[in-house]
Copies of this chain bind each other. A is one copy, B any other.
């Protein structure tokens, strides 16, 4: 079950254009498009006439015209035109979703549009904050979004899954600290005086020992921001310190599939496109390493024996708090 009264990332701004796009979110078909006046709009992608996909049609002015028999629908979801008819039956409408476009990402409120609460918008402001540089990408994952969330909330996996990039044995040598923070859960790990990981060695030019801090913020329903900061504790390195914000929006396509939108922003080597290319490439490869684990995990837990319960250890603190928090929120939403 999903939380409905929350913001999910529906796509990047660049995906909302004159040519409509179909994307399924929480098991519902959405038509994404941009009107002639530049407004990003999301409508239910199922024409009330015959059930055809509106996204097979085209944008005309402020409306989306169905590609089957030409019914047109405005941003409110109301039908604005039916070919050959002068009056429009009032039931000719589709659901319209509340949308906020910000920082180059487009967020959709999956509950009733008139209850959309902008104050609950997750914070991804680094995406266009001066002093931060990087790019956004998309990765489809054939696994439940919670498995992706837990992957990000327990970074000890880097030592095993990402041995060649992010891996450092220090990740399992230092404990995490878990706490409730804002509306969500924060996990922090301080690793003082360790050898820099291959990633930081390559990206930041760190050679000698560093202080490395990881801080992971989970905000319901599916937003994870990882701040990872490395500070040189001896001279001779190219940078004194370097910081990344890894931005992760895990939008459920359905119960067993996730739209993974990620951004990677750094606060050094600004203006250096070659560094941007390299960081994106390394991160992309890193996420591909997670993919097969996550998809197998889905398959193995789909057929787990009755009574199977995961064995928890302290490093799972963030995952467990996130899970409990989500259970409470979903139960509360279903009660109301």
Enumerate chain A interface residues (CB-CB to B < 8 A).
27, 29, 45-46, 48-53, 56-57, 65-70, 82-85, 89, 91-92, 150, 154, 156-157, 159-161, 172-173, 175, 292-293, 296-297, 300-301, 303-304, 308-316
A84 touches B296 (CB 8 A): no
Would you call the interface of chain A mostly helix, strand, loop, or mixed?
loop
Does A51 lie within 8 Å of B293, measured CB to CB?
no
- On whether the beta carbons of A161 and B67 are closer than 8 Å, the reply is yes
* Complex Cα spacing A48 to B308, Å: 8
Q: Which residue in chain B gives the minimum CB-CB distance to A159?
A: B70
Number of copies: 3
Residues of B with C-beta under 8 A to A310:
48-51
Give the distance in Å from the alpha carbon of A173 to the alpha carbon of B85 in the complex: 9
Contact (Cβ within 8 A) A51 B156: no
Q: Closest Cβ of chain B: how far from A64's Cβ, in Å? A: 12
Flag if A293 contacts B56 (CB, 8 Å).
yes
A300/B51 in contact, CB under 8 A: yes
Q: Which residues of chain B come closer than 8 Å to A160, judged between CB atoms?
A: 57, 65-70
> Which residues of B have CB within 8 Å of A53?
293, 296-297, 300
Q: Are A311 and B69 in contact (CB under 8 A)?
A: no
Residues of the B chain whose Cβ atoms lie less than 8 Å from the Cβ of A297: 50-53, 68
B contact residues around A173 at 8 Å (CB): 84
Closest 5 CB pairs of A and B: A83-B172, A84-B172, A51-B301, A48-B311, A53-B296
Q: Is the CB of A68 within 8 A of B175?
A: no
Closest Cβ–Cβ distance, residue A166 to chain B (whole Å): 14
A30 CB to nearest B CB, Å: 12
Taking a contact as CB atoms under 8 Å apart, the answer to whether B67 and A313 are in contact is no
In angstroms, how far is the closest chain B Cβ from the Cβ of A68?
5
Contact A82 B48 (CB under 8 A): no
Q: A67-B160, A160-B66, A160-B67 are in contact. Are A52 and B83 (CB under 8 A)?
A: no
Counting chain B CB atoms within 10 Å of each CB, which of A70, A156, A296 scores highest? A296
Q: List 13 A-B contacts (CB under 8 A).
A: A27-B303, A29-B300, A46-B308, A48-B311, A49-B313, A49-B316, A50-B316, A51-B297, A52-B297, A66-B160, A67-B160, A68-B297, A84-B173
Within the complex, what minimum Cβ distance (angstroms) separates A66 from chain B? 7
Closest to A70 in B: B160
A45, B301: Cα distance in complex, Å: 11
Q: How far is the CA of A277 from the CA of B89 in the complex (A)?
A: 44
Q: How far is the CA of A175 from the CA of B84 in the complex (A)?
A: 8
Task: List B contacts of A52 (CB < 8 A).
Answer: 293, 296-297, 300
**Quick one: closest B residue to A65, CB to CB?**
B160
